Amino acid sequence: MFNIDSLLRKNIRDLKPYSSARDEFKGEASVFLDANENSLGSPLMKWYNRYPDPLQIKVKEKISFIKKVPTAQIFLGNGSDEPIDLLYRCFCDPGKDEAIIFPPTYGMYEVSANINNVKLVSVPLLSNFQLDLEALESAITPFTKIIWICSPNNPTGNAIDRQDIEMILNNFDGIVVIDEAYVNFSRQKSFVTDLQDYPNLVVLQTLSKAWGLAGIRMGIAFASEAIISCLNKVKPPYNISEPVQELALKALDEIGQVNDMIQQIVSARISLESALLKSSHVLKVYPSDANFLLVVFDNASAMYNHLLKKGIVVRDRSNVLLCENGLRITVGTESENVKLLDAIQSFA
């Protein structure tokens, strides 16, 4: 049985969190002399002299409306990388607890585990890029606290089978994180609608991909209220700046435009895939549920260097498990995709 108290690190369970001036104030006021801000404001931008809302309620209300998830089940971070780190800090005792990843996958689960001195156990994906549930079963120990599932997966681009994820959610009593950074480009349904069924589920999404806002740094974690309270307890008090909250509020009103953009990117991905397959240097393009393609070349490092010389940077994944001779290519604008295809064609 999932029991958050027994899962939490003892020091976090006992932690008295920082209480900011704005946390303690409730009600109406017009004179704010409680937070040692500069009451005159900056000559550059007077209106940024106040600390931002520590819990970003207005932004969460918009996300809540779009995703149909209560605000108390939403956490906002400085990119998804912040909740990734906070989940380790909340649930994994350094030097003792363990987490599981399914490589090849997004690199930050491992980097964050190393930063937090948490043992990471790898259960490689099968050759069809799906989960090896048998190997997973033998990898789980009494110290396993978090399982990271990236779906659609980076760098392979595929969605992970829903039944396999459900099997893990139903049988593992620790935290199951589903990183859905690319879910908007996928035919796969988000697990956000399944939060009521799984108290151990954390769904990560981000404004960096479909929303087109990687530069503002806003990641979202959806989970039970109990898990979200733990993340809030541990996060830096003002982790999302005021300009970022303002930009996110504006962006979240533009869901229609975002949906159009998603369609545009998905259809560009389909065209790019068929154009790539016409090149004699391309051996395979893996099916993608994301905004990138994993492409197998006859000689990936030679192609990578050739593209670099033409001023085109792609991600060399050729040394990554199961991705031999693979380059991960983001779907670009129409003209970027044309430049890419021309450059590939010019490869001797």
- Which residues of the shown chain bind ligand PLP in the complex (CB under 6 A)? 79-81, 106, 150, 154, 179, 181, 206, 208, 214, 219
Q: Which is nearer to ligand PLP, 71 or 112 (CB)?
A: 112
Q: Which is nearer to ligand PLP, 75 or 106 (CB)?
A: 106
d(CA 322, CA 202): 27
**Shortest approach of ligand PLP to residue 157 CB, angstroms?**
10
Q: Which is nearer to ligand PLP, 8 or 290 (CB)?
A: 290
CA 329 to centroid of chain Cα atoms: 18
Cis preceding-peptide flag for 152 (omega within 30 of 0): yes
Closest-approach residue to ligand PLP (CB) = 79
Structure tokens given for 26: 């409730």
d(CA 128, CA 295): 15
202 phi, psi to nearest 5 deg = -120, 125
Q: Which is nearer to ligand PLP, 99 or 150 (CB)?
A: 150
Helices first, then strands: H and E counts in the chain: 13, 11
Q: Which is nearer to ligand PLP, 9 or 292 (CB)?
A: 292
**Shortest approach of ligand PLP to residue 81 CB, angstroms?**
4
**Shortest approach of ligand PLP to residue 34 CB, angstroms?**
32
Structure tokens given for 61: 């209300």
* Residues 137 and 159: beta-carbon distance below 8 Å: no
**Shortest approach of ligand PLP to residue 173 CB, angstroms?**
24
Q: Which is nearer to ligand PLP, 9 or 209 (CB)?
A: 209
**Shortest approach of ligand PLP to residue 69 CB, angstroms?**
18
**Shortest approach of ligand PLP to residue 90 CB, angstroms?**
18
**Shortest approach of ligand PLP to residue 185 CB, angstroms?**
12
CA distance readout (Å), 311 to 268, 283, 328: 21, 23, 16
Q: Which is nearer to ligand PLP, 8 or 292 (CB)?
A: 292
139 phi, psi to nearest 5 deg = -85, -20
**What is the DSSP code (8-state) at residue 31?**
-
CB proximity list for 341: less than 8 A, separation 6 or greater: 272, 275, 276, 279
177 phi, psi to nearest 5 deg = -105, 130
